[in-house]
Each structure stands twice: as structure tokens, then as C-alpha cells.
């Protein structure tokens, strides 16, 4: 694992809310807002950028938690800005805080965690969970 980040480092990402990001389930579309599940995917991607920068070729990141507090809606076509801040870097633990805005309006905030593991350890974990 490369030690190229430190706590307090920030990554910004922008995303335009698309139809596939709306709150839609098997029963249809619920409303024209950015679904919390899609928001979770996108904040995980923003936080993962730290892992991608730090992991070695024989390593991979694996999520450990995701906490989201959805504060206000983002609508189809809105550009959301995700700001991920590295708050904990201990051993192979990579934890972030994030905020999501549309302009100045807070859409969501929360925390997300990952661990950087050797790919062989991830493969062993997968194998141990397979039902034979």
C-alpha cells in the first residue's frame, strides 16, 4: 500500500443525475429524485478514489460501512458535487466523510469505510463463502 494520502486530503467529483439514478423499483418510478441507493453508489466511488490511488497491484479495496443521511432531494438533470475527505488512515483502514451538494444546498452527508487487502485474501474470503 502506497502512503500517498494523509488524513484531511479531499477529493471532489461531479455527477449529473440521470434516469438510472432515480428512485425506481420493480413497481416503477417513485419520484424524479436521486435515489439514496444511487447516491450511495456514487459516494462509494468518490471515496474509493483514495483506495485506487494507494493500493498496490496485488491489493484491492473492500467496503466496511456506509452511513448516509439524505437531507434534501437532487432532481433529474441536477449536477451534484461529492466531496470526500479522508478522516482515518490506520494500517489498511481507509475511512472518509462525505458531503453532497447541488450548488450551495446540502443533499447528503455521511461516512464510508474501506480496507485495503491482498487480492489473495479477498479470493480466499470469496471461496470460503461459496456454497458447494
Fold of 10-129: Thiol Ester Dehydrase; Chain A (3.10.129)
| Class of residue 9 by CB neighbours under 10 A (exposed 0-12, middle 13-18, buried 19+) | middle
At 122, is the secondary structure helix, strand, or coil?
helix
Domain boundaries of the chain, sorted by first residue: 10-129
130: pLDDT confidence band, cut at 50, 70 and 90?
confident
The C-alpha atoms of residue 32 and residue 59 are separated, in whole angstroms, by: 39
State pTM to two decimals.
0.89
In angstroms, what CA-CA distances link 55 with 1, 42, 103? Answer: 5, 20, 32
pLDDT of residue 120: 93
Using an 8 Å Cβ cutoff, are 115 and 61 in contact? yes
Amino acid at each position: 500500500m502506497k502512503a500517498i494520502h494523509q488524513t484531511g486530503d479531499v477529493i471532489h467529483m461531479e455527477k449529473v443525475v440521470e434516469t438510472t439514478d432515480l428512485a425506481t423499483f420493480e413497481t416503477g418510478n417513485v419520484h424524479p429524485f436521486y435515489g439514496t441507493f444511487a447516491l450511495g453508489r456514487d459516494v462509494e466511488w468518490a471515496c474509493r478514489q483514495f483506495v485506487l490511488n494507494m493500493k498496490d497491484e496485488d491489493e484491492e479495496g473492500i467496503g466496511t460501512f456506509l452511513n448516509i443521511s439524505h437531507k434534501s432531494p437532487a432532481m433529474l438533470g441536477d449536477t451534484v458535487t461529492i466531496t470526500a475527505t479522508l478522516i482515518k488512515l490506520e494500517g489498511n483502514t481507509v475511512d472518509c466523510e462525505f458531503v453532497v451538494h447541488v450548488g450551495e444546498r446540502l443533499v447528503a452527508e455521511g461516512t464510508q469505510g474501506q480496507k485495503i487487502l491482498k487480492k489473495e485474501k479477498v479470493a480466499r474470503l470469496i471461496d470460503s463463502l461459496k456454497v458447494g
